[in-house]
């Protein structure tokens, strides 16, 4: 089962392979030999679709399916219960998401979306279910490898569940395969249909629910791995000492001789301590939401550092009092004892490095020395942020806090030895997050009672197992199942369509 909403901007390599295949099949002289070659290697190629099937893994599947029969019976019985609950839960979740999306469309105007924002396809989040992914818009191109690898692994684990459950229920297993649809990888198992139709509805449910059950288990295992990662990597990496810079984008405001460099350890943002990446994001969020902090400066120092400057208002109503060409001076505002608002152009680093933060003049009164709380007079949403990354000189950042967040990559894991890679924990952490998101999401989506998804077969078997005594006519049960599938398909299609619209409109 493939994720939805991917917008293709370039023709993938598999597309040209399919075109080449069509050309060969249209040739009278090459068609027969080409089809024999495909059959020999278990290949099947059609427009936008390639697949490979093999019996090489049949022995391994049969070994798994015959291992500890009682345990497997219990395992897949739990999976059957989970699959049924997931089928009903997925409908509720999709319905809730559809209502949230409609409400958002009616109440909010489309907003610009930063190209580094990530909404993984079909990610189940507290705020709803997202069914869209557009590389370069909400999926960074640099993370496509994680994305496709997680899809493939989730698909393989899903199909292993179906295959092992089928062998456990005495259904003949013909083979296992991998396919590529456009650019999406996936997996499948080939089961003997006649055997599948002869077993009881409850046995069918164990087989049909095994895929979503295995996806759920994979998501749980990935979550546990992510949660226990600090303990697993403890002998090699320390945590809780700061946020380690792993990458600074070329266009980042933090890039420069007095900016941040790969390997720097950030310990503070303003007066907010940073012990991990979560602290970094939290501090930036607080700085963005709250008003700009000021800095205590004595009256004598203020008089010594300030110099006459022309004061004028910007278009957004804020005040500027420094030359636009200055790279070191910033306009500061302060109030005197008469509560008059005054402005002074001051060298930012000299003001900040020898001062403590403040909100009002009262925060600066000490030892009867006249002092003022001087606050940077910046454009709306712009902040002056002091970033501490010892032993280097503090970085002074002027701009929107979110720009700093999107253009600087960090890790909570600090290598204990210099030869250890700073990227390894990030790779493991990111991949676990993709597995949690995609495997869990595929479990939910596959359980939807919709045509061509596992939910279709789960629903049919569930109706046969529960309603055969209430609705005696099989034709009536099939009609009921068809109507439910029609409603489920419409619900899923509506979520996909609106999800795509929300991404493209923003």
Cβ proximity of 441 and 120 under 8 Å:
yes
> How many Cβ atoms sit within 10 Å of the Cβ of residue 386?
20
Q: Residues 299, 372: contact at Cβ < 8 Å?
A: yes
> Are 16 and 200 spatial neighbours (Cβ–Cβ below 8 Å)?
no
Angle (nearest 5°) at CA 246 between 245 and 247: 100
Which among 146, 144, 187, 153 is positioned nearest to 12, based on CA atoms? 144
Question: Which residue in 452, 454, 451 sits closest to 487, CA to CA?
Answer: 451
35, 108, 159, 464: the active-site residue: 159
Distance between CA atoms of residues 297 and 153, nearest Å: 59
Contact assessment for residue 120 and residue 439, using Cβ atoms and an 8 Å cutoff: no
Here the contacts of 14-19 (C-beta below 8 Å, separation 24 or greater) are: 14/48, 14/50, 14/180, 14/182, 14/183, 15/48, 15/182, 17/45, 17/50, 18/45, 18/46, 18/47, 18/48, 18/49, 18/50, 19/47
Pairwise CA distance, residues 44 & 95, whole Å = 38
What are the helix (H) ranges across 108-200? Answer: 144-168, 193-198
Tell me if residue 278 is catalytic: no
> Which candidate, 425, 401, 407, places its Cα nearest to that of 415?
425
301 neighbors 312 (Cβ within 8 angstroms): no
Backbone angles phi, psi at 415, to 5 degrees: -60, 140
- Ramachandran area for residue 381 (φ above 0: left; ψ -120 to 50: alpha; else beta): left
Q: Is 236 helix (H, G, I), strand (E, B) or coil?
A: coil
**What are the strands, taking DSSP E only, across 312-399?**
312-313, 319-320, 329-335, 341-347, 357-358, 371-376, 383-388, 395-399
Whole-angstrom distance between the N-terminal and C-terminal Cα of the chain?
27
Catalytic residues: 159
């Amino acid at each position: 089962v493939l994720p939805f909403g991917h917008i293709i901007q370039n023709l993938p390599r598999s597309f040209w392979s399919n075109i080449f295949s069509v050309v060969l099949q249209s040739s009278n002289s090459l068609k027969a030999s080409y089809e024999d070659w495909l059959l020999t290697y278990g290949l099947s190629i059609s427009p936008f679709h390639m697949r490979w099937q093999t019996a090489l893994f049949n022995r391994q599947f049969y070994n798994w399916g015959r291992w500890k029969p009682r345990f497997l019976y219990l395992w897949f019985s739990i999976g059957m219960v989970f699959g049924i609950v997931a089928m009903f839960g997925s409908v509720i979740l999709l319905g809730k998401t559809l209502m949230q999306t409609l409400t958002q469309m009616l109440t909010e105007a489309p907003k610009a979306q930063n190209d580094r924002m990530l909404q993984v396809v079909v990610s189940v989040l507290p705020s709803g279910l997202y069914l869209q992914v557009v590389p370069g818009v909400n999926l960074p191109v640099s993370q496509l490898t994680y994305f496709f690898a997680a899809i493939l692994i989730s698909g393989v684990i899903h199909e292993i569940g179906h295959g092992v459950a089928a062998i456990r229920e005495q259904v003949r297993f013909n083979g296992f395969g991998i396919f590529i649809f456009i650019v999406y990888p996936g997996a499948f198992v080939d089961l003997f249909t006649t055997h599948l139709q002869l077993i009881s509805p409850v046995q069918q449910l164990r087989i049909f629910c095994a895929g979503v059950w295995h996806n759920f288990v994979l998501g749980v295992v990935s979550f546990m791995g992510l949660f226990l990662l600090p303990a697993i990597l403890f002998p090699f990496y320390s945590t809780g000492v700061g946020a380690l810079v792993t990458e600074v984008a070329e266009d980042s405001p933090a890039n420069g001789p007095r900016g941040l460099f790969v390997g720097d350890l950030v310990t503070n943002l303003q007066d907010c301590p940073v012990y991990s990446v979560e602290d970094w994001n939290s501090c930036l969020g607080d700085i963005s939401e709250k008003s700009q902090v000021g800095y205590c400066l004595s009256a004598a120092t203020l008089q010594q550092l300030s110099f006459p400057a022309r004061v004028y208002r910007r278009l957004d109503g804020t005040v500027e009092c420094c030359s636009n060409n200055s790279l070191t001076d910033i306009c500061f505002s302060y109030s005197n004892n008469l509560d008059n608002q005054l402005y002074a152009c001051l060298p930012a680093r000299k003001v900040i490095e020898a001062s403590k933060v403040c909100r009002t003049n009262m925060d600066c009164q000490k030892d009867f020395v006249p002092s003022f709380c001087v606050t940077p007079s910046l454009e709306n949403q712009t902040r002056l942020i002091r970033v501490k990354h010892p032993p280097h000189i503090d970085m002074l950042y002027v701009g929107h806090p979110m720009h700093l967040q999107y253009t600087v990559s960090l890790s909570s894991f600090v290598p204990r030895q210099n030869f250890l890679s700073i990227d390894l924990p990030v790779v493991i952490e990111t991949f676990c997050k993709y597995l949690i998101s995609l495997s869990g999401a595929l479990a939910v989506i596959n359980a939807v009672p919709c045509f061509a998804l596992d939910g279709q077969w789960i629903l049919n078997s569930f109706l046969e197992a529960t309603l055969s005594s209430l609705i005696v006519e099989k034709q009536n049960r099939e009609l009921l199942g068809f109507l439910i599938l029609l409603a489920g398909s419409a619900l899923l299609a509506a979520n996909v369509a609106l999800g795509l619209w929300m991404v493209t409109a923003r």
